[in-house]
Structure 1
Amino acid sequence: MKALTAMLCAGLAMGLAACGARNTASNVEAPGAPAGVSTRVLDAGADALQARPPIAALNAYLDGFHFYNGNLRGQMEAHHYCAIVNEELIQCVIYDGNVKDAKLMGVEYIVSARLYEGLPAAEKALWHSHVHEVKSGQLIAPGIPAVAEKALMQKLVATYGKTWHTWHTDVHKTLPLGVPQLMMGFTNDGQADAAMVAARDRRFRIDSAEKRRQRADIPAPAIMDGADAWQHGTTIQLADPTGTQHGSSSLPSPSTHTAEPAISRPAR
């Protein structure tokens, strides 16, 4: 993984700005007065003087798609900025765009198959596989050489992700309202909105279908039990007390049910 990280960083330094680093605007316009002179001075001073090791570690950029667990039609593009913690753990912050004012949407934790296998059964239901995202060409790493992107995808294809979105920019266009929502990744052809994928491809000047062909020789590992639980009749989601409807329609499967996870509540 160290060699892969070095390759990724070199690729990012060489070409990210020219290959899609700033081509996707934010989905929302947050309210608030423009930054004043004193705020801009403080911002510039902090930028020049303060070290930010956790942020500096975000050296990999992935672009893909998520949907609300329990609602396959509530779909969105997700820009991941990731830190490779070690051989078996990657942590990402997720934005609705890749420009300076992009809005922070959530987080994703990515673990190896070995770490996933050791999770309790109830925990596994929160995680999704990455096989289809990689093999379909939907998941991309903009701005790095093709050989580095393929090496990264070979690493990611056998991993599992747990994703929570905290700002639902498809619904709330001003502020991050409501409660976090558990997100999933697509597992089969025909699930992702083709227009959404095509729009992304145009912006990045890539072809998902061609990436699918290029990744045909990446072995597709068997998906471990418990992942992608929504496909097997178990949908875990947090109930939103604000009444927000996340997406346009619930999953059509009659066997799917919503199970609210246990949440500790303070004593009254």
Structure 2
Amino acid sequence: MTRNTLLVLLIIAAGCGGKNSGSQVTSPGDSLNAKDRLLNTGADILQDKTPLKHFDAYLDGFHFYNGNINAQMEAHHYVSQLNDDLYQAVIFDGNGKDAKLMGVEYIVTAEAFKSLDEEEKKLWHSHHHEVKSGSLIAPGIPKVAEHELMEKLVSTYGKTIHTWHTDQERELPVGSPMIMMGFTKDGQLHKEMLSDRDKRFNVSTEEIKKNRADIPMPALIPGANAWEKGEIRQFVITNKPDSAVHKH
């Protein structure tokens, strides 16, 4: 399936996979006044937003904080494909107008992941279980299109950073950014969280899992999901003057 074909299918199915998941928090502040609304409307009409227009696909899945698998949250991804080996996604805590921007995820193919150095790989997670288990979905598009999309994603790897922890009921984006990971086995993701998602989207993860049984399970490239071996990497805020020096 070409990128244009997928876009057509997404357009046909528009409106079927969103606006059913509210934000986790209500942030402090007054409602927009008439002047602000007018300025925003003018900017929307007059300004070019080419980068945003290319976030074509919508994926719904789950993350956990690297180092704490019990701290889990649902993540709504809006994805742009840059080329055959690289995707980028903006992540929200909902899919309505009140959704808060939680973070970003970069997604690469297996070939691109192999090129990373060993320390860098420890920041990345695989998508094989998310796809095969049915926990990662593309709401609103036809099943055949979603299946083909998942065939591509099953062998990819993601590097995810959350900057606003609304799952912790933080009304403002305070605290340190955090490296996030993806689930790798059945039983890790909280059942009630998955059940709640399924109800809102009117889907069955078990049925999706059965439908994806024909998608081959890729061989895992060593280095990803390092948390499983106790290799935890996380951000630390420091006042050291050389902390911003590029040392990778």
* TM-score, L = length of structure 2: 0.95
Give 1:53's aligned amino acid.
T
> How far did residue 240 of structure 1 move?
5.9
Q: Which residue of 2 aligns with 1:124?
A: 121
| Residue 95 of structure 2 corresponds to residue 98 of structure 1 | yes
Give 2:243's aligned amino acid.
R
Stretches of structure 2 that go unaligned for 5 or more consecutive residues are none
CA deviation profile, 1:227-248 (whole Å, cap 9, x unmatched): 000001201112368xxxxxxx
Q: Which residue of 1 aligns with 2:227?
A: 230
| Residue 34 of structure 2 corresponds to residue 37 of structure 1 | yes
| Residue 6 of structure 2 corresponds to residue 28 of structure 1 | no
Q: Which residue of 2 aligns with 1:265?
A: 243
Q: Which residue of 2 aligns with 1:140?
A: 137
Q: Which residue of 1 aligns with 2:213?
A: 216
The equivalent position to 2:56 in structure 1, one of 56, 59, 64, is 59
Q: Which residue of 1 aligns with 2:184?
A: 187
Distance in 2 between residues matched to 1:214 and 1:6, nearest whole Å: 24
Distance in 2 between residues matched to 1:83 and 1:239, nearest whole Å: 29
Distance in 1 between residues matched to 2:202 and 2:212, nearest whole Å: 18
Q: Which residue of 2 aligns with 1:11?
A: 9
Distance in 2 between residues matched to 1:130 and 1:265, nearest whole Å: 31
Distance in 2 between residues matched to 1:263 and 1:109, nearest whole Å: 28
Q: Are the aligned partners of 1:29 and 1:173 in contact in 2 as well (CA < 8 Å)? A: no
The equivalent position to 1:205 in structure 2, one of 202, 205, 208, is 202
CA deviation profile, 1:76-99 (whole Å, cap 9, x unmatched): 000000101011100000000000
3-state SS, counterpart of residue 234 of structure 1: coil
Q: Are the aligned partners of 2:164 and 2:170 in contact in 1 as well (CA < 8 Å)? A: no
CA deviation profile, 1:204-260 (whole Å, cap 9, x unmatched): 00001001000001001111000000001201112368xxxxxxxxxxxxxxxxxxx
Distance in 1 between residues matched to 2:29 and 2:195, nearest whole Å: 33
Distance in 2 between residues matched to 1:177 and 1:83, nearest whole Å: 27
Distance in 2 between residues matched to 1:12 and 1:207, nearest whole Å: 20
Identity of aligned residues (%): 52
> How far did residue 266 of structure 1 move?
6.3
Q: Are the aligned partners of 1:4 and 1:151 in contact in 2 as well (CA < 8 Å)? A: no
The aligned length equals 244
Measured at CA, do residues 201 and 263 of structure 1 come closer, stay the same or move farther in structure 2, by a change above 3 Å? farther
* TM-score, L = length of structure 1: 0.88
Stretches of structure 1 that go unaligned for 5 or more consecutive residues are 242-261
3-state SS, counterpart of residue 62 of structure 1: strand
Which runs of 4 or more aligned residues in structure 1 lie more than 6 Å from their structure 2 counterparts after TM superposition? none
> How far did residue 195 of structure 1 move?
0.5
Q: Are the aligned partners of 1:8 and 1:59 in contact in 2 as well (CA < 8 Å)? A: no
Q: Are the aligned partners of 1:21 and 1:99 in contact in 2 as well (CA < 8 Å)? A: yes
